[in-house]
């Protein structure tokens, strides 16, 4: 799956975007529907059922995006209804009016902004380098001159070219192929989206122990809830998100799921 949602298509334009503005398309919900959701109706949130955004443990629903969406619905006085589907189906469902917003670690990009509205950021993209446990790679400076595996078709290759020196990019068809490249000595590290590395480390633990050597926030790659163009509820969502940050609720949720991740400057500036 497209885990950080940094998938190319038009994501090449994502770096530098810190706008808290619009995106996706098609008919916005009727005013009466929007008003009812805002005044105690149902807020339908599309999710893709992937850890750490939305998942279940012993029948209990958990997830960073899940808890943020719960807080938003509560702040709006709406009843949350979570609709689980494949990530690739979320935008079509939003356009069709089957859901009211997407909460699935969606990174704001210039291309997406043409068609949909993004709320104020409730997270930023975190990037990481996975390495063997005995690797000498410890800082971002250590990446220069190394062989770095990426999943082909993602933004990571371009990001490596822009942020690092003399990096040899090793393209892999999927996560496990990238790790196999490290195991075979063809790559020194795997560059990926940090929130999705935990299951990879667990999956390879017995065969090839890995560690998350470097994790850092990409402050120019904000993550927000996605809504239809012109949905008047976006302003309400933005207000609730701002309040969740100011009253400490956002930081509490962030620490529960991403305690080890350094705090982004985006949220420091917002008062977190």
21 & 109 share domain: yes
Question: Which residues span the domain enclosing 39?
Answer: 11-122+224-265
Pick the last residue of a domain from 217, 241, 256: 217
260 pLDDT higher than 90: no
182 in Cβ contact with 173 (< 8 Å): no
Query: Which pLDDT value is given to residue 51?
Result: 87
- Higher per-residue pLDDT: 215 or 111: 215
Report which of 167, 174, 272, 265 is spatially closest to residue 222, judged by C-alpha positions. Answer: 265
Q: How confident is the model at residue 245 (pLDDT cuts 50, 70, 90)?
A: very high
70 in Cβ contact with 103 (< 8 Å): no
| HEC letters along the chain | CCCCCCECCCHHHCCCCCCCCCECCCCCCCHHHHHHHHCCCEEEEEECCCCCCCEEECCEEECHHHHHHHHHHHHHCCEEEEEECCHHHHHHHHHCCCCCEECCCCECCHHHHHHEEECCCCEEEEEEEEEECCCCCCCHHHHCCCEEEEECCECHHHHHHHHCCCCEEEEECCHHHHHHHHHCCCCCEEEEEHHHCHHHHHHHCCCCCEEEEEEEEEEEEEECCEEECCCCCHHHHHHHHHHHHHCCHHHHHHHHHHCCCCCCHHHHHCCC
Query: Which pLDDT value is given to residue 29?
Result: 43
Q: How many domains does the chain have?
A: 2
Percent of the chain with pLDDT over 70: 85
245 & 177 share domain: no
38 falls within a domain: yes
40 & 117 share domain: yes
Nearest-5° Cα angle at 160, 176 to 108: 85
Strand 42-47 to 79-84 pairing: parallel
Strand order in the sheet with 123-132: 168-172, 147-151, 189-193, 123-132, 210-223
21 & 34 share domain: yes
79 falls within a domain: yes
What average pLDDT does the chain have?
A: 86
37 pLDDT higher than 70: no
Q: How confident is the model at residue 99 (pLDDT cuts 50, 70, 90)?
A: very high
What's the CA gap between 209 and 258, in Å, rounded? Answer: 21
172 falls within a domain: yes
3 falls within a domain: no
Q: What is the mean pLDDT of residues 25-48?
A: 63
88 & 213 share domain: no
212 & 139 share domain: yes
Percent of the chain with pLDDT over 90: 67
116 & 206 share domain: no
231 & 211 share domain: no
Query: What's the CATH number where 194 sits?
Result: 3.40.190.10
Phi, psi (deg, nearest 5) at residue 146: -95, 165
For 112, 115, 208, the CA distances from 9, given in Å and listed in that order, are: 10, 14, 32
171 pLDDT higher than 90: yes
Q: What is the CA radius of gyration of the chain?
A: 19
122 pLDDT higher than 70: yes
271 falls within a domain: no
20 falls within a domain: yes
Q: What is the mean pLDDT of residues 141-155?
A: 91
Query: Which pLDDT value is given to residue 32?
Result: 43
Instruction: Look up residue 150 and give its two tokens.
Output: 């990426």
Query: Which pLDDT value is given to residue 167?
Result: 95
Q: What is the mean pLDDT of residues 148-160?
A: 86
Q: What are residue 216's DSSP bridge partners? A: 127
- Higher per-residue pLDDT: 163 or 185: 185
22 pLDDT higher than 50: no
């Amino acid at each position: 799956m497209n885990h950080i949602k940094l998938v190319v298509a038009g994501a090449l334009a994502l770096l530098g975007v810190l706008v808290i503005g619009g995106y996706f398309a098609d008919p916005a919900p009727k005013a009466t529907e929007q008003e009812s959701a805002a005044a105690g109706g149902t807020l339908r949130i599309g999710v893709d059922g992937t850890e750490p955004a939305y998942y279940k443990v012993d029948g209990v629903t958990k997830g960073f995006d899940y808890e943020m969406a719960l807080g938003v619905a509560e702040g709006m006085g709406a009843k949350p209804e979570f609709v689980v589907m494949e990530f690739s189906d979320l935008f079509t469902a939003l356009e069709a009016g089957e859901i009211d917003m997407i909460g699935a670690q969606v990174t704001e990009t210039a291309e997406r902004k043409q068609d949909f509205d993004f709320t104020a950021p409730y997270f930023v993209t975190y990037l990481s380098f996975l390495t063997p446990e005995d690797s000498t790679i410890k800082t971002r400076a250590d990446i220069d001159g190394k062989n770095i595996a990426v999943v082909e078709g993602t933004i990571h290759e371009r990001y490596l070219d822009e942020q690092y020196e003399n990096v040899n990019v090793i393209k892999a068809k999927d996560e496990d192929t990238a790790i196999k490249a490290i195991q075979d000595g063809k790559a020194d590290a795997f560059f990926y989206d940090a929130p999705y590395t935990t299951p990879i480390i667990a999956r390879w633990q017995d065969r090839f122990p890995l560690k998350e050597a470097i994790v850092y926030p990409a402050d120019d790659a904000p993550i927000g809830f996605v809504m239809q163009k012109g949905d008047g509820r976006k302003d309400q969502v933005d207000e609730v998100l701002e309040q969740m940050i100011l009253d400490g609720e956002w930081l509490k949720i962030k620490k529960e799921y991403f305690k080890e991740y350094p705090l982004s400057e985006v949220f420091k500036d917002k008062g977190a």
